[in-house]
Every structure is written in structure tokens, then in C-alpha cells.
Structure 1
């Protein structure tokens, strides 16, 4: 009879093999494609055997270790096994497919994904009408809706129902989902799923998992409660990471302004005038917003800042509208690659004119053609792509494709004159400015705004909404916040380090820094609430917004734990600062855009929120473990070092519980959302897979009795860093290296 440890070793070896297999699968999918990865790996016999052996190993381990004597832990492991059983039933007996319907046509069959064959339905379904709903005043779809009729001749059932994104049709075990539609808008494509038992068991297992996680966190007999009790009576030794933080913080303040030129003053329109111009409503990024938002994005996209020298965003955009030829000579592009510097005949900065020859030939055109067949990821081609994008944006503005003035649709006799005024507004406005008739220019703006407000009903956002959006753009709160948080966090760690080395008391430092943390949290909360009000939804739809969520969660965690340790306050400020810094300088999209229809779900917001809390906690553990390793390397007092890193291991252990549980909850809430939206709760998308890999790695850390390496502080801290690397891959690596539905590219 094998011993408990032997069964444990076998089970965890299978977990490790599964993790490695999944890593290889995502890389193979990236290289060979999704279809190949599914056929060769995810649907392979060896993969099914690994999952089956893992399930059997878990069952043996549960009973060999008498886990049933710890009810919360027992229920959690049973939930995990039920999830695998549900997935197995789905794979064996579940049916998936699609059905193509044209208006006023009826069918009782569908095309199965498995085996590429037709299958019969026990009822008929027909499409009465397909329609697309749009965001008010824009051409951006807000929903796709299929009105279908179901007729069952066997029991006499007959009814009509709408199928749309996040709204499915359920009948006799079959579920129908909106998948696609015909270009002529006369037909629809529905995906079909028939998996009652697999879905039911999986859902039951998810809820059981949530319940057991909460039980583990509140049970006084479990380790989380023991660690939490110890934390309230101990302080944690900090580290020399503050020096690194100070370096990064100082880099964040690096000033790259260029010397101003006299020509800039000739392009400047007074701020009072541009303030009125910025309140004009435009159609931009699929929504109606003040022109000031477009100006901010236009300026940021071209210059990397919200202003250009002495011109604010509105003045910069207006200068391109009024004086395009002069603006084409402004050095706004930073050139880094030597080949491009030679091409543009510049040392660092280039203008739009530098990208064209005297014969008005675009210098980058030949490079763009070569990129289609060559290496588009080389350094020079990446820089060419960025510069070309900026030039195309300028050309879009010149051609009138970017600045799309909003005008309400009207059917009365004045509609033609209104449209004519809107079409000629910029030309008339430009002429009055060039003639020096500033009052006439303001009158044109006032007339345009009156026409925009006339007869729009609830389509046009309110003036309060407009003022909120303009304030949000101008205040740029998150940009200030990352600088402040990095500086305060680094300063706090330096103070703590100095006091520890000199054996001096902190005095009221913890109180002062707690106050600064509270202020930072309130500012971040206000900024996120303002963004939510502007967008009409929680800001969690793209990479930029999820980084904001991580920063907010980091501050919240620091706020909750601020009384336990001074170092946690500074970790909170540093982590939020780093996150906001990444959001600020990274290749992310800060525009506030309407959600595509499939993303209009409360489950999505809940899924992202919970995942972001987990990521924030992992960031805390990473800083804590990195701190411990610095202490091991640089501390000369061996006994004090041993005590310190043991205490810091306990701190990471404490955070590991909620981090793992939040990640697990986020994964499974995302699965439920995917099941509602697409008809499948797991599709082996690279982001799903890497989230699962991170979850599996976290699972190893809770089994120190079997895997005794995790009782050693140094090994534990190194493994935490590995987990954080997996989290980084889950968030950044998948977004930028691997393909998938979740990528923020």
C-alpha cells in the first residue's frame, strides 16, 4: 500500500506535468495555429489521461490524508474533482454546433462541430427578423438581436423569443447563442450547445468551490486565520528595494521637453476661445463626446503628452485644423533608429514634412510594402509602424475623417440647412479666424452648439456629463498619482530602512503615511468613479482600464492592512505607482469607448474586478519575496535574517490564500460569462490557459506538509517570484506575444 507522501508526490507530479503541458500547448498554438494545437494536444489521448490520472490521484490523496476531518478543505477538493468530472461529461456527451437562418425560413437541423456533420433538432426554429441596435447618435453597434420562432409539433409548443449578446434561448436542453450575421442583415448565425449534465455539474462545482473558499478564510482551525492572528502582533522588516524604487520614480519624472520656438506662438489661439471650441460635440470612437476628448487623444497619440510645448491639447488640435502647413513643419516625432534618422535627416526629432520628399513622395511607403513580406517585428519596422500611424492620423484630420461633428438626425424642413451648416462649419470657422473676426468665430461655435442640442432628446449627453469629461481629461489624475505614489512609497521604505538599521523608533511615521495612503485611495476612487460616470459602465474593458483596477485594488489592500505593518503601506503605494506607470507609458489605449456587445455583462465587470484583486495581492507577495531575497544577500546578521525572512514568508502565505481564491473565483466567473455569451465555459484560449497555470502553481504552496520544500523560506520566496512571472505572462505575455480572444492588442 503506497504511503500518503507517495500518493501526494504522484498527484503533485501530475499537476506539474499538466502545467508544463499547458505551457507547451500555448506556445505550439502560437507557432502552428489553434486548429493544430487542439487536434494534436488539447484533444489528444495523453492529455485526457493526464486529467484522468490527476483526478484519481486527488481522490486517493483526499482519503489517504483523512481530509474529511477538515470539512472546509475537504469540500474544496471535492469541488475541484467535480469540475474535472463536469468537463469530462461535456467532452464525452456534449453537443456543439451552429445554425444559419435566413429571415422567414425554417429548419430543424444544425451543423455539428464534432465530425462536421448534420444533426436533427426535436423542434423547428425560424428567423422572423434580425436587427442591429446602435449606441445613441453613433454607428457603433450596442447589440445584435435575432427574433426567432420555435415550434414543437410533438407537444404543441410555439413561441417567439429574442436572442442577443448575453441573452440566450433555452429549450429542451438546447441553448442558442447569437454568433454572427449576414452582411445584408437578412440572416443570422446561431451557435448551439446541448450539454445539460456537464454544465449542471460544472456550475454546481463552481458554487461549491466559492462556498469552500469562503469557509477556509473564516474557519479558525485553518492556517489563514492562524497567520492573520500572528500578523496583528508582528512587524515585518523591509528592504533595500527602496533604492530601486527611487531610481524608477526619478525616471518617471524625467523631463523630455524641447526648447520652445517662436513659431509656436503664431499657432496659439487664446484659451478662452479654445475652451468654447472644445465643448463642440463630436462622434469619436463610436460615441458622442466633447471635442476636447478627441483633442487630448490626438495630442497624446502624436506627442506622448497631453500638450505640445506651450500649446494645450485643444490649441494643438485647433492649430492643425487652422494652420496645417505650419504644423506639418513642427518636430513632433521622436526618432530613435539610426536608419530613420538618416531618412528624416534629423538627430532626434522629425516633422511630418520630414517624412515626404520635395516631390511629395512618402518616404515610408517603400518600407511599408517591404514589411508585408518581411520581418514586421524588427526594431526599425516597429518604429516605422508607429510613425506611420501618427502620420495617418494627421491625414485623417486633414481629410475630415477624424473630426466628425455630431449633428442630430431630423426630418423637418430645416434639416437640409442644418446639415449644410455642419458640413461647411470648419471652412467658415477657419475663414473668420484668418480674417481676425474672433467674435464671429465664437458666434459660429454658439450656433453649432445650439443646432446640436436641438431635438436630440436623450441622445446627447448632459452638460454635467460634458463638464465631467473635460475635467477628467484636463486633471489627468492618474498621471499625477503614479508619480506621487512612487515617490511617497520609496521615501517610506527608505525611512523604515534607516530606522531599522539605526534601531530608532518610527514614531508617528505610520500615522502620517497612513494619511497619505488614504488620500491617494480617495483620489483614485474619485478618478475611477468619474471615468465610470463618463463611460456609463465600470472601467474594465481594455488593458489600460484593468491596470487602473489593479492600482485601485492595491491601494484598497494597503488601506485594509495599514494598521498591521508600516511596510505594507509602502508596498501598497509602490505597487499602485508601478501599475499606473505601466498604464501611463505602456502601449495601451486610454480612450473611453463604448463596449462591444459581447462585453456588456455584469459578470464581465465582476470577473475582471476579482481577477485584479488577485493580481494586486500577487504584486504584494512579489515585493515581499524580493525584499526577503535582498535581506538574505546583503544582511550580515544571520539569526536576524533567518527570523526576518521566516516572518516575511508567513506574510506571503497569508496573502496567498485570498490571492489564490480570488484568481480561482475570477476564472470560474469568467467561465460562466463565456458560457452565457458563447455557449462554452472553457475554450483553452491562451489567457484562460495561463490563468489556470498560475492557479495550479499557487496550489502547490498550500501543501507544505507533503512538499516540504515549501517550509523553507528561501524556496518559498523564489517560488512566489515564479508565480508572479506566470501572472505577468497571463496579463502581458498573452496580450502581446500570444493570440487569443482576451488579447488587448
Structure 2
């Protein structure tokens, strides 16, 4: 039994459990994207098996504390770390079973003492004339899970005795459905159209209700509510009203109105309450001042539930029926759903002599105190509709005795929490009319604080792991020093051997007769023709004065002449302030022009002219630019062929003269009708082309849409920046602007110099700052922004880092593979030059980020684009700091920075500077984002070092095996250290994000895809760092291969979640699961083949030139195939994708594994066992 227990809690089993855990939560994010949050919770997060798995992991960690005797002083860091996770699991359990949260919606001046739950409930109230019994149950529903269930609902007497039992049976569930009126041949129903408040009829179908103000009009209902009821008898429609009404024929009404008189009361026919009359067309009915006319009768028309094209835009529907005393009711449609108020979707029915009120959605949770909203305020960014901040003035009222009410005033705003009586209240949102506040309320004192204790222990344990004298990090540092000493001795021996061989060869050469050429020592193989001078920068002005002149027109004469301002004046004009409605801020004209030109042309120059020259030329000379081919057309699809253009198109190329609209409008409308995930590449590019065309129209428009250069105070007293044409011709603003543009026009046309224009421009700039009351960027900040634009830090940095990184890698390999194992002098000089080049590039790049921070007013890691730049900077800084440890670290860092910056330049992420969302205005942005994104740098360096080591495994042979073996070990130790640092930062950053979330909206962990994939990455690297405890996978090669592949979890956390999944951090606009790029699959296959080649070479080396034993191939196939099949089965169970698609993709991957393994077996395998050397991670 003891042996079974030891195996059950062994490190191998724990790693398997961790792998199952990380795969499960990773697949849960896909389930949430494909379906919804409830599906992910039903299948995984709230499933019983998932809780059992967590309990097993918790028990396993406790068992391993005793197994590995972690309570010893030298293992206090590891003990603290493991205890932290145990405490966090306990905290999560307390939150799960005892905590709750919800939302409060309070109008200004109103008071509320309840909140709506964040979880959906099935709420039923059953009553008769004597007794009433409420019943409720939390009910998560999903289209991916069988919706059928039965519950017994009792009607109880006042003494608690059951009076009658009714069974409620759920037969179906439909999500995000619109109750639409549909006309179809197979529909046997008839719909009635009533003209109520307009001539357009409003339809009511059989079994439904139409509201006439506050009075319901029901049609063909079994148990209609009090009001007006309509039904069909034969070929006529009958009507009965519980309230008296009047009627008048429309023909009489028209005749009276034509005479100019009002109809007399005596002309109306009076219908008494509960009287049955025939409902007639062309007759006006009046009830309680509400008039209606039966205008249309539609046959074959009824209400049908149809899926909404917009995700989560419509209610969910439960289909239930009731059973009691042998009777079965009809099926009732109950609207509601996740985060919808159940009381707003209640269905009232009668069955078996009882009355039922059935609802599905959020329920009311009473609070032990009241909250009054005295005032709500919304602040916006200047000249913008974007919220900058919003806050509520609240009064908490708590009864502390008869007639004694405690009143506490609180000011609540984003990232500022109000705590009271164990509840935490957060500013969450606001009503659309801005006259009410929406608060998030959380009750989870114990769960939160236990989890915080776990976070504290985790941080403490990780710090101890780094500084503890007996810790793994210090141990690895000592081993690296020993390996360096061994390598030095090995290099010395190699040099002595080389010298002895050289002396022997010299003696022999002295005795040789002939015309042999003696090569000077130290210059063997030195090829002067093969030098690479690509790193030199030659500044040559190759543009002649003739070429700088405006090019001659190549278009038909009607195009007109091209007029462009001088470059000198464009530099003066660049600092003119303009307001961008898109980016919600004031910016120099230089920035706006570069953004517009890049958007339409994919470059910041055109024919040698800068962006200010080009964009202002377009504004001032529309006729010429309408013919100029400046709009970039993608080569993807057949867009160029359809338009009859090459790389660029003119405005007129995209203009249909017949319709006066966009030439490919039909195709564009079809593309817009599809969801993002269903559009092909040509349709996506067509939408982008239409956007460029729209921007170009606005540039060429006579109202100068983008030139919002003048402040104007609206009638509501708010200052907004607008164009010159929004001012009267005799206004001061109009004259100041017109004076400048008039002088500029004369100068551009050659009718005078630019002196007058420059003077008028200075007056316009001064006028902007004098008249505006807003907080404008200072002249220094404007100059900094223009300098930042011209620096092009991303383009120049990734070019420099790419060159430096690959040169350093080549130098490293050259020195390592040289005969004596010591790099030649020219290699050492090149490495030193690369080091200082990296320092200068990093200083330049860091200065650019500082400039960006000064411009934006916030830290330069506040969005996806800035985070990518920050990761690149941290990566290279780490490489520079560890330069003396190993030159290859800087090579790996520069290469990784090159790839990251190259990706950032592909316009995948928006590079524009924007204002922060209110929730991001927190000091946690500086702490959490800096730590978690900074962690991607050391983890990325670890992946690159693993890649380098795999190259060394391929390059290793009998002649260099000892030298390369030491280098592989040294790099492996370094990799483990940087990965350990990265995991510590990643873990701390992730859970600090939980603290921020708890301080902002009251949930420290909500299984959002971003935080979930951060946890996936932590678990993946946690498994990597525990491989050394597992027999069979604790060799150096496995560690390096997993180091490389482990970074894929980081890449998916950063890119995949943002663009492929749906969540709080997603850019997928609510749809997610965009088309997976083919090129990415090919890259993955390429890395897999590279890993297999390295694995094969490693196995050949371990077999000492003999055959690789068959057991290796069998074990490898069984492990890899089991992983693929296991993940595929889990995807099928969780219904992530159609079964056929999962099987197809799994089949392709399995085929690739089997083919590559088979080729390796043919090349180096045979039956039998061979003695192998194993490089163990020690």
C-alpha cells in the first residue's frame, strides 16, 4: 500500500496531473470562445472532475513536502513556494463555495438595498389563492451540454407542509436568439398588424402579446393576462377587453377631419368591459387614450427564434414544460440568460389549477444596508467623447437600531474601492444617459485574504529561491564557473597540441626543397575578398537637385499640375496643433499626416516628399491627387485584377462613375455581411481597401475633415476643435486661418516666397494656444513627438538587432567549432564591436520609448504594441548584463528582439499613441504589466538558448564532442537560471494582475483567457523545471527542446489570446477564433523537423556511432502519440471544434510524427539495445 501511495504521489504522476490541468484550462478558453463562459464553467472550471484534479494536486504537493523533506532549512524556499500554492487552492475553494458577487444599478437620487447576481438562476414562484412558494436554483446552461433536466417544485402551506408537487422539465436551450416575425409557407399561423403610434404596423403573432402603452393586447393565448384579447372564430377575429373602449370607422373619421372639425364623442361606438365584439379593419379603437387600428393580416406568418449575428446581443431561451397529477403542459419559452435580470423576462402561466411565474437570469440578492447615489459624474478627454474617468458620490445607510440609521458618505471611482460590512463596492460602469451608476459588489473577505496570503508566500518563496545559498540558482552558478574552468583547461591543451603540431610541420617544411609558399602564422584562411561590409552606414546624398523638383505630370492634361510646398516650410508647418477624433488627443500635424499617408500608401513618403508635403498637397490640390495612384492595393486575392491596377490605385480607379460609389460595393457588402471569422483573405483586404478609399475621400473633401486646427466653444459651453469651414467668414478664427492658407497657396504656386506664409503660420500657432482653454501639449512635447516620428525606432532597431544578433551567433559558432576551441582575434574584436553597437542601439531605442512616454503621458507598456517594444528592450538589456557570462546570451537576445520588433512593424498591433481607458489609470499598470511583460524577455532568451543548443547537438561530432558537450552544459545551466527568473517574474506578475482585478472590479480570478493562459505558461514552465526529477526525461536535450517549445505558451498568451480568443484582453471584437494562418502551421512544422533532426543527432551520439535501440523509437512514438490523441479526445469531449476537423488535424500531426520517426529508424535504428551515454541535468 505504501508503494502504491508513493507512486500515486510521485513526481511523474504530479507532472502528468499538471499537464492535464494546463491542457484542460487551455481548452476551456477555446470552449469559451466557441460557445460562451457558461460552457467553459460547465465542462471544466465548475465540473466535479476538475475539483478532484485540484484536490489531487494539492494532496500531491503536501505529500512531496514530506517526501523531499522540504521542511529542512536549506529547502525553506521550495517549502514556501509549495505552501503558497496549497494556500491559494484553499483560498480559491473558499471563494468558490462561500463567496458571491453581482451588480447594482442605481439612478441619481435613488436608493437600493439589493444587487443582481453574476450567476444565472432558474427562478420559479408557484401560488394559488391561499399559498405562495418561491423556488430557485443556480442554473448554468450551454448548447454544448445536454440541456434536459427535471426538478420538483412544491407548493407549500404556511406551516411548511407540501400542498402540491409540480415537476418542471427543461427540454431545450437556445442561446443568443432573436424572436423574429417570419413569413414562410410551412408556418400555419396568422399575424395581425396594428397601427399604433405610426402608420407602420406592429405585428403580434399567435400566442404572443403586443403592448399598447401599459395595456397588453394578447392574440390566441390560452390564459391571457387582463387587458385586450383577440382570437379567431371562423373567418372573423373576435376581441374582448377587460377595460371599456370606443370605436369609430376610419371613413367617418377622415370625412370629419377634412371638414376641419374634431369628431364628437357621440360618433364613437362604446364597447363595455368584457364585451365580445368583431375586430374590424379600417376601424379606429381607443382605450385609455391609446388608439390602434387593425391595418394588416399576414397569413403564414409567425414568430420564430433565430440566431443573432452579433454575439451575446440577444436573450437565451429555456424551453420548459410542467407536469402534475398526470397532466402535461405545453412547452413554454422562458427568455433570459447569463447576466440578464430574471425579473425582466418573467413568464406568467397557469397550469393544474396553479399560477406560475418563471424566470431565468440574475436574481436579486438582498444587502444588509442601503446605498444611495447622490451624484454621478463622467469626465471626458478634452475635445473628445471618450471617457477619461467616472465617479459616484454614494451614501451608505445602515440601520443600527430602531429609528437609528448610520450614514457614511463615500466617493467611488475606478480603481478606488469602498469596503463595508464585509462587502466591497467598485465603480463598474454607468447608464447610457449618464444619469445612473452601475456598481460591482463582492462578498468574499475570507477567500480573498487567504488567496492574498498565498500570493505573499509565493513571492517570498521565489525571492528566497534566488538568494538562498543552498538554492538551485546558486548551485547552477557554481556549476557554470566549474565548466568555465574546464573549458579553459581544454582550450589550453588544444593550443599546446596545435603548437606542437605546428613546430613539427615547420621542421619538416625546412627540409623540403621546392617553391612552396610559406603562409604567415595567424593568417591561415584569411580571405580579404570575403569581408562583410553590410554593417557600415554610408551617408551619401545621391539625389540631384533636378530629381528633387516636382515630377512632370504623366496623367492626362485634365489632371492639372502638381503643387507641393517646400520641405523647409513643411518642417515649420509640422508643429501646428491638430485634434484627432480617432485618437482623442491633440497632436502635431506631422503625426496626423504620417498616420494618414501610412494608412493609404503604406509608407511615410511619396516620390521623395514627406508626409506633410503630400497630405497638405492633397488638401490644397484635390483635382491633381484624384488621378494620382497613391492608394495601396493588396496583392492577396484578385483585387488588383478586378480593379485593373497594379500596386497602387488612384481615387478614380476605385470610383464607379455610373453609381457614384465605391467600384466594388457589391462585393464589399457581401464581405460585411459575414462574420470576421468567415471572411477570406480577399474579403478582409477589400474591407481595408474600402477604408483607405473612405479616408482618401475625406482628405480630398472640400471641408477638410481632418484639419481640426481651431478651438470653438459649443452651445453647451464645451470647447471642441474643428475645421475652418465651421466658422463664419467674418469671424476672427476664420480670418487667422485663411490668412495663412492664402499666403501658403501663393507661395506654393510660385507667386511669392514663403516669408509671409511663415509669419502667418506663427500667428496661427499663437492663436491656437491663446484661445484654447484646454491642456495642450507644450511646444517641447510637440518637438519631441516630431523627433519621435522621425526616429523610426522600431525599423532602425530591428535592423540593427538582427545584424548584431546573427553576427554574434556566427562568431560564437565559429569560435566554438575552431580547431583549438579558442576564437581568433578578429572574432573577439567583432564581438566587442557588436557589444557596443548593441549598447548604442539600446540607448537609441530606450530614448524613443522615453519620448513615447512623454508624449502619451503614461508608461510605455500600456497597450499591446508598447508591450512588445518593452519586451524587446528588456530582452536586450538582459543580454547586455549577462554579456560576460556568455556572448551567446546577447546573440540570442538580439535575435529575439529582432523578431519581436519585426512583428510589431507588420501593423498587427496599432502603433498609434492613444489615451488610456479609465480602468488603466492605476499604479497597478506600472507594476503588473511591467513585471509580467518583462518576464517574457528572460523566457524568450531561454527559448533562444535552447535553440542554440539544438544547433550544437546537430553540429556535435567525434572531434568536437568534448568541447561542445561542455558548452551545451554551460548554456543549459544558463538557460535554467534565466527561465527560473522568468517564471518568478511571470508568476508574480500574473497574481499581481489578480490583485489589480480585485481592486478594480472585485474578482481576483475570473478565468479570463489572458489570465488563464498566463497560468498555462506558468504550469508549462513549472513542468520544465521539474523534469530533472523524472527518470527518462531528465537529460539536457529534453530540457533544451522543451525550453524552445515552452515559449509557444508565451506567444499564444500574448498574440493568440489577443487575436484568436475572446475576453477582456482580446482584440477579436467579440467573435474570436480568427482563421489560423497557414504560414504559422508551416513554421511550427519546420521547428518540429528541426527538433527531430537535433534529437536524431543526439541519439546517434549517445549510441557512440552504433544503432539507436528500438526501445527509443517505441517510447518516443508512444509518448508523442498519446499526447496528441489525449488532447484530441479532450477537444472532442469539450466540443472545441467539429469531430471531423479535430480528427483531420490530429491525423496530420500523427502522420508527421510517424513519418519522421520512421525515417530516423531507417537511418540509425535496429533491434537490440546499445549502451548509451546520458547527459543528466544535475
The TM-score, its normalising length taken from structure 2, stands at: 0.59
2:860 to 517, 529, 539: 539
**1:361 counterpart = 2:661:** yes
**1:213 counterpart = 2:457:** no
What is the alpha-carbon distance in structure 2 between the residues aligned to residue 315 and residue 585 of structure 1? 25
C-alpha deviation, 1:338, in angstroms:
4.6
C-alpha deviation, 1:498, in angstroms:
2.4
**1:619 counterpart = 2:940:** yes
1:736 corresponds in structure 2 to 1059
Moved more, 268-277 or 498-507: 498-507
1:550 corresponds in structure 2 to 871
C-alpha deviation, 1:207, in angstroms:
1.4
2:578 to 282, 285, 292: 282
**1:145 counterpart = 2:391:** yes
**1:180 counterpart = 2:425:** no
2:446 corresponds in structure 1 to 197
2:565 corresponds in structure 1 to 269
C-alpha deviation, 1:157, in angstroms:
2.9
1:91 corresponds in structure 2 to 96
- The structure showing larger relative contact order (alpha-carbon pairs under 8 Å, at least 6 residues apart) is 1
What is the alpha-carbon distance in structure 2 between the residues aligned to residue 56 and residue 729 of structure 1? 30
What is the alpha-carbon distance in structure 2 between the residues aligned to residue 537 and residue 352 of structure 1? 38
1:76 corresponds in structure 2 to 81
| Structure-2 change in CA distance of 1:161 and 1:47 (3 Å) | same
Of Structure 1 and Structure 2, which has the larger fraction of its residues in helix? Answer: 1
C-alpha deviation, 1:624, in angstroms:
1.1
Q: Does the 8 Å contact 1:615/1:659 carry over to 2? A: yes
Counterpart secondary structure, 1:192: strand
2:639 corresponds in structure 1 to 340
1:394 to 696, 707, 722: 696
**1:693 counterpart = 2:981:** no
C-alpha deviation, 1:11, in angstroms:
2.2
2:1107 corresponds in structure 1 to none
| Structure-2 change in CA distance of 1:302 and 1:427 (3 Å) | farther
Of Structure 1 and Structure 2, which has the larger fraction of its residues in strand? Answer: 2
Q: Does the 8 Å contact 2:573/2:761 carry over to 1? A: yes
C-alpha deviation, 1:286, in angstroms:
0.9
Q: Does the 8 Å contact 1:553/1:612 carry over to 2? A: no
Counterpart secondary structure, 1:563: coil
Counterpart secondary structure, 1:336: coil
Counterpart secondary structure, 1:527: helix
1:674 corresponds in structure 2 to 997
Moved more, 501-510 or 682-691: 501-510
Counterpart secondary structure, 1:117: strand
| Structure-2 change in CA distance of 1:464 and 1:566 (3 Å) | same
C-alpha deviation, 1:735, in angstroms:
1.3
2:882 corresponds in structure 1 to 561
Unaligned runs of at least 5 residues, structure 2: 122-361, 489-531, 537-546, 555-560, 722-726, 1069-1178
1:322 corresponds in structure 2 to 620
2:815 corresponds in structure 1 to 499
**1:571 counterpart = 2:892:** yes
Greater gyration radius = 2
Moved more, 529-538 or 305-314: 305-314
1:241 corresponds in structure 2 to none
C-alpha deviation, 1:643, in angstroms:
3.5
**1:123 counterpart = 2:413:** no
What is the alpha-carbon distance in structure 2 between the residues aligned to residue 164 and residue 117 of structure 1? 26
Per-residue displacement from partner, 1:491-524 (whole Å, max 9, x unpaired)? Answer: 2222232233334334444433332222222222
1:243 corresponds in structure 2 to none
Q: Does the 8 Å contact 2:590/2:612 carry over to 1? A: yes
| Structure-2 change in CA distance of 1:338 and 1:201 (3 Å) | closer
Q: Does the 8 Å contact 2:637/2:681 carry over to 1? A: no
What is the alpha-carbon distance in structure 2 between the residues aligned to residue 124 and residue 546 of structure 1? 42
Q: Does the 8 Å contact 2:889/2:945 carry over to 1? A: no
Per-residue displacement from partner, 1:636-658 (whole Å, max 9, x unpaired)? Answer: 33444444333322221111210
| Structure-2 change in CA distance of 1:418 and 1:661 (3 Å) | farther
What is the alpha-carbon distance in structure 1 between the residues aligned to residue 67 and residue 941 of structure 2? 35
Counterpart secondary structure, 1:664: helix
What is the alpha-carbon distance in structure 1 between the residues aligned to residue 815 and residue 1056 of structure 2? 39
What is the alpha-carbon distance in structure 1 between the residues aligned to residue 50 and residue 693 of structure 2? 49
1:483 to 799, 811, 814: 799
Per-residue displacement from partner, 1:640-687 (whole Å, max 9, x unpaired)? Answer: 444433332222111121011010011011111111111111111111
Q: Does the 8 Å contact 2:893/2:944 carry over to 1? A: no
| Structure-2 change in CA distance of 1:56 and 1:367 (3 Å) | same
Q: Does the 8 Å contact 1:418/1:451 carry over to 2? A: no
2:414 corresponds in structure 1 to 165
| Structure-2 change in CA distance of 1:571 and 1:424 (3 Å) | farther
What is the alpha-carbon distance in structure 2 between the residues aligned to residue 34 and residue 311 of structure 1? 52
Counterpart secondary structure, 1:711: coil
Per-residue displacement from partner, 1:296-318 (whole Å, max 9, x unpaired)? Answer: 21122222222223111211221
What is the alpha-carbon distance in structure 1 between the residues aligned to residue 386 and residue 993 of structure 2? 25
What is the alpha-carbon distance in structure 1 between the residues aligned to residue 34 and residue 47 of structure 2? 18
Q: For residues 361-440 of structure 1, what are the structure 2 equivalents within 5 Å?
A: 361-374=661-674, 376-397=678-699, 398=701, 400-407=704-711, 409=713, 420-422=731-733, 431-435=742-746, 436=749, 438-439=754-755
What is the alpha-carbon distance in structure 2 between the residues aligned to residue 314 and residue 233 of structure 1? 61
Q: Does the 8 Å contact 2:1013/2:1053 carry over to 1? A: yes
What is the alpha-carbon distance in structure 2 between the residues aligned to residue 610 and residue 453 of structure 1? 39
Unaligned runs of at least 5 residues, structure 1: 238-245, 251-257
Q: Does the 8 Å contact 1:709/1:715 carry over to 2? A: no
C-alpha deviation, 1:58, in angstroms:
1.7
